[in-house]
Amino acid sequence: MAVKKSAKQQGPDLAAFFESLRELAQMRNLSYDQVIEIFRGTVLSACQKKFGLDADLDVILEPKVPEVSVVARYTVVEKVENADRELTEADAKTTHPDAAVGQTIERKEYLTDFSRIGTTNIRNIFSQRIKELERELVFNDYKDRVGELTNGQFLRWRDKEIVYVDLGKAEGILPRKEQIPGDRFHPGSRIKAVIKAVELKKDKSRDPGPYILLSRASGDFVKRLFEQEIPEVYDGIVEILNVAREAGFRTKLLVRSNRMDVDPVGACVGIKGVRIQSIVRELQNERIDIISYKEDPAFLIAEALSPARVQEVRVDTGAREALVVVPDDSYSAAIGMAGKNVRLASQLTGYRLIVKSQSQYEQEYSSPEARARLEELFSDRKEEATSDQALDDDSTPLSELPGLTRRVIEILNSAGINSVEELVETDESELEKIDGIGKTTAQLIMKIIRENIEFEEV
């Protein structure tokens, strides 16, 4: 009779309780079945403290009745060895008068039979497990989105260093080092960023959600902006091969077209820069250099050092190093403020760059011995040998003239000058007219000729 009375007392209270579980599921964007199973597990955990960790328990939830009960199963034995699962015949007969040794009996308790402390414990555990489920669902939703562009709304500052961003289902954090210099956020600000990392927090006391790190300072952020704003990049017609970035200063993009009829740089910039303007505004007017990929590393390095003018590049492909000579008035532009431009060019090309002004180069490599050492360090014998095969047996290949770089040799070859003898017969004024040589390089070539070739009087 006592059991039946407890069941009746639960009715109206539990009906409201099950309805509140349904509302909770809708509010937290969870399924009702998920919430019910969490509650079942919570009651089971609480009952294990009461009946024993090894107890054979079942939690029965019946929303339609409504009823919440716990069934504990015991084996009737002569001598108890496991108090969680066994009862003596005398103990069993207190609830089951016909119990006998060897039988299994069930004892049923209702939620309203629990003490106030017990029900409070269930409520606390249930609340904690709901939060853990939410954390897990958000984590699973965002862990595969690392590298994606996302939009959110400014929530608050913490310690004037970290911005909290409302992403809808979760909060993201944007530390100062991941912000662009010049970023200003205030209530209502929309924030665009890339998801840099997603982790589950070890310390859940301050913020129970997963750790979603956002970035506006990374190269990936710029890459995603181009994918969003430039149709050819989004469709894969123009491919972004690499990004080097100093947030707030300059970004260098290495691009390649997968179609002969599409200029990768023009596609990214647009007529009068119209396509790239929105990206520049998002980056707080950061400078963007777009470099078209070249197979020849010397030409690629020269382009990567933009806006500097490059006079000469000597490449050691094996050591991934290059010596770059620039006019004196371009040296500052090549290096950049605090070395940023040359550092970005190095990151973009994958080469360690040694930049010298024309004056520095002439001073450090003025002697034939120094030029010979330089030639030994920065030369590609295989390519030189290939280009020299077409020469007559009596001709001296240009590669044997100390101080001439492979790039200069290629330019001379394209102009029809394939041997030292042909070079000697060419006037300085004619050299200046060759595309890619210019006045300074022509003077340098004539100096190399004077220092290394002896002329016989006829």
Average pLDDT over residues 366-374: 68
Claim to verify: residue 213 and residue 234 sit in the same structural domain? no
Domain with 189 in it: what CATH number? Answer: 2.40.50.140
Q: Quick one: tokens of 241?
A: 């091969």
Nearest C-alpha neighbor of 247 from the set 175, 182, 337: 182
Within-domain flag for 187:
yes
Decide: 443 and 452 in contact? Cβ < 8 Å.
Answer: no
Within a domain: 378 = yes
Residues 6 and 89 in one domain: yes
Whether the Cβ atoms of residue 169 and residue 126 lie closer than 8 Å to each other: no
3-state helix, strand, coil in the chain (%, to 5): 45, 25, 30
Which of 217, 235, 257 corresponds to the end of one domain? Answer: 217
The range of the structural domain enclosing residue 395 comes to 365-452
pLDDT at 128: 84
Same domain for 106 and 144: no
Find out whether 357 and 251 touch, Cβ atoms under 8 Å. no
Query: Could you tell me if 445 and 393 lie in one domain?
Result: yes
How far is residue 398's CA from residue 412's CA, in Å, rounded to a whole number?
A: 9
Q: Are residues 194 and 97 in the same domain?
A: no
256, 274, 293: which is the final residue of a domain?
Answer: 293
Residue 441: the pLDDT is 80
Confidence band (pLDDT; 50, 70, 90) for 387? very low
Each residue's pLDDT tens digit, 134-177: 888 888 888 889 999 999 999 998 888 899 999 988 889 999 99
When pLDDT is averaged across residues 320-331 and rounded to a whole number, the result is: 92
Same domain, 6 and 95: yes
Query: To 10 degrees, the CA torsion angle through 127, 131, 134, 139?
Result: -160
Is the residue at 431 inside a domain?
yes
Provide the 3-class DSSP secondary structure of residue 198.
strand
> Please, which residues bridge with residue 323 across strands?
314, 354
Classify residue 284: in a domain, yes or no: yes
* 55: region left, alpha or beta (phi > 0 left; psi from -120 to 50 alpha): beta
Question: For residue 281, what pLDDT is reported?
Answer: 94
The larger pLDDT score, comparing residue 338 to residue 134, is at 338
- Give a yes or no: residue 300 inside a domain: no
From the list 103, 104, 99, the residue with the least C-alpha distance to 73 is 104
Domain assignment present for residue 161? The answer is: yes
More confident residue, 5 or 23: 23
Domain final residue, candidates 183, 217, 251: 217
Q: Which residue has the higher pLDDT, 345 or 36?
A: 345
User: How many beta carbons lie within 10 A of that of residue 123, not counting itself?
Assistant: 12
DSSP 19-59: HHHHHHHHHTT--HHHHHHHHHHHHHHHHHHHH-TT-EEEE
Q: Is 438 helix (H, G, I), strand (E, B) or coil?
A: helix
Each residue of 43-85: pLDDT tens digit? 888 888 888 888 888 888 887 777 788 888 998 888 988 888 8
Q: What are the b/e assignments for 265-301, b being 16+ CB within 10 Å?
A: eebbbeeeeebbeebeebbeebebbbbbebeebbbbb
Average pLDDT over residues 202-206: 58
User: 196 in a domain, yes or no?
Assistant: yes
On average, the pLDDT of the chain sits at 83
pLDDT > 90 in the chain, percent: 34
Task: State the total domains in the chain.
Answer: 4
Out of 130-139, 157-166, 279-288, 339-348, pick the least confident.
Answer: 130-139
Task: Check pLDDT > 70 for residue 389.
Answer: no
Return the CATH number at 445: 1.10.150.20
For residue 400, give both structure tokens.
């044997």
- State the pLDDT at residue 301: 94
C-alpha Rg value of the chain to the nearest Å: 38
Same domain, 20 and 38: yes
By the 10 Å C-beta count (0-12 exposed, 13-18 middle, 19+ buried), 235 is classed as exposed
Look at the block and give the residue holding tokens 């295989």: 382
DSSP string, 297-345: HHHHHHHHTTTS---EEEEETTTTEEEEEE-GGGHHHHH-GGGHHHHHH
- pLDDT > 80? residue 221: yes
Indicate whether 59 and 9 sit together in one domain.
yes
Per-residue pLDDT at 8 exceeds 70: no
